[in-house]
Structure 1
Amino acid sequence: MYLFKDYKKIDHLAIAVRDLNEAIKYHQDVLGFELDTIRETKGKHTSMRSAVMVSEEFSVVLLVSNSRGSQIERYIEQYGTGVQHVAFQVEGIESVYEELKSKGMEFSTEILCDAGLKQAFSKRDPNTGMMYEFIERDGNFSFEESNINRLFERLESGESY
């Protein structure tokens, strides 16, 4: 029996990389993804660059550190390059959030809401190094700059990486 009927699909994978241009080229030329967006995100103390690579069903977000001590740099130092978080698209994020909390999951963020988008991030599991994002979309299949910046600052202030 599945734990949650509210899991719909994997929305995206976020991958920490050392060289963004090399990672973009690999995902385009070898894996066949299309480059959608490249952006720089700045928090109060650190920054990162990201590239959103899209397919029909899900996306891969490539993340590279843009400053000393950033979340991505710290992640790579602790766990190496690779999947930094998995985002599950869910229905009824509030009930998913409460159910997971009742089972002992700790969160780095509360449920963050933006136009057509709700999301929450778990704390990183110390055993696997995995952080999970739960995301509910209502017609918005991208990420708004304001949402990304607010999320980055929230994770930065909570020492999450």
Structure 2
Amino acid sequence: MEYVLDHVGIAVRSIDDALPFYLNVLNGSLEDRYTSDTPGVEVHVAVVRTNDKVIELLEPTNKNSPMARFIKQRGKGVYHIAYRVDDLDKAILEASKKGVRFLEDTLRTNTRGRRLIYVNPASTDGTLIELCSYLNN
């Protein structure tokens, strides 16, 4: 299974405050901006491309969202690292056979056609890792 860095999710208090750095300093381009109201997600998202890499700025939509709790506990900064795979089901199966645990309730397809699941941070020494694939590939 090949794992390719897909994007980095960054927790921010305000996308509007954070966005100028990524656009004006890193010369990124804003590819998309949307809100995910999915229970357990609840974030505003700004998708920024810098050359061949993607950064997702993630702003909580309410004070009880998982993103708001993350910022309260750990502060702003890197929230997760996402790796793209060709076959998400196969990647989950292969990793599970190697003892990797997943946060099963995070398996979903987002509104942009990305199918994803998060690896339990206990399996990654504390880093939240997303595995994803795209329906339009």
Q: TM-score, normalised by structure 1?
A: 0.70
Aligned partner of 1:123 in structure 2 is 120
1:113 Cα deviation (Å)? 5.1
CA spacing shift, 1:96–1:44, aligned 2, 3 Å: closer
1:15 aligns with 2:23: no
Give the equivalent residue in structure 1 for 2:102: 107
For residue 118 of structure 1, report the CA deviation from its aligned partner: 3.2
State the Cα distance separating 1:47 from its structure 2 match.
2.9
Match of residue 6, structure 1, among 2, 5, 18: 2
State the SS of the aligned residue for 1:67.
coil
RMSD: 2.7
CA contact (8 A) 1:6 1:92 kept: no
Please tell me the residue identity of whatever aligns with 1:118.
Answer: R
3-state SS of the aligned residue for 2:58?
Answer: strand
Match of 1:88 in 2: 83
- Aligned counterpart for 1:61 among listed residues 48, 56, 62: 56
Partner of 1:144: none
Greater Cα offset, 55-64 or 111-120: 111-120
- Contact map agreement 1:124 1:132 (CA 8 A) in 2: yes
Which residue of 1 is the match for residue 35 of structure 2? Answer: 40
Note the alpha carbon deviations across 1:8-59, whole angstroms, 9 max, x for none.
Answer: x211110001221121111001111111222122245873211111134231
Aligned residue-pair number: 135
CA contact (8 A) 2:10 2:78 kept: yes
1:76 corresponding residue in structure 2 = 71
% identical aligned pairs: 24
- The change in CA–CA distance for 1:57 and 1:51 in structure 2 (over 3 A counts) is same
Where in structure 2 are there 5+ consecutive unaligned residues? none
- Any gaps of 5 or more consecutive residues in structure 1? 141-161
Which deviations, in whole Å up to 9, do the C-alpha atoms of 1:38-97 show, x marking residues without a partner?
A: 212224587321111113423100011121111111111222211111110112322221
Change (3 A) 1:78 1:124: farther
**TM-score, L = length of structure 2:** 0.81
The 1-side partners of 2:119 and 2:29 are apart by 28
